[in-house]
Amino acid sequence: KDTVDFQPNYDGSQQEPSVLPSAFPNFLVNGGTGIATTVHDFASGLAQALGVSGEIAFSGEVRAGDPLHYKADVIRATQIGFVPKVSLSEGLARYAAWVKSTTEKAS
């Protein structure tokens, strides 16, 4: 099964001022949780958060060159004190709320 490492952008950006002070110039870290989530679980969680029903299906086709598993190496981030604070379900719920509010404004 394909996996992804999902971290909402606001989780990392909320911590940048305290996590990346000037004492760490040009310090590059991965932005992720270090937790692999199956694409199916991610899609199911997003569908549930959006209130969408239906079957989630994958073709099973793997494209040449695409990695099957994404999981961030967060060792450097944790060394400077970064700890993800938003769970997958909470991040998906917040994203779904944003999508719904944006859609309502556009209507």
In this predicted structure, what is the pLDDT of residue 53?
A: 93
Q: Are 26 and 1 in contact (CB under 8 A)?
A: no
Domain count, the chain: 1
Range of the domain at 39: 3-106
- Give yes or no for residue 29 having a pLDDT over 60: yes
Model confidence at 26, pLDDT cuts 50, 70, 90, reads low
pTM over 0.75: no
Q: Are 2 and 39 in contact (CB under 8 A)?
A: yes
**Angle at Cα 46 formed by Cα 40 and Cα 50, nearest 5°?**
145
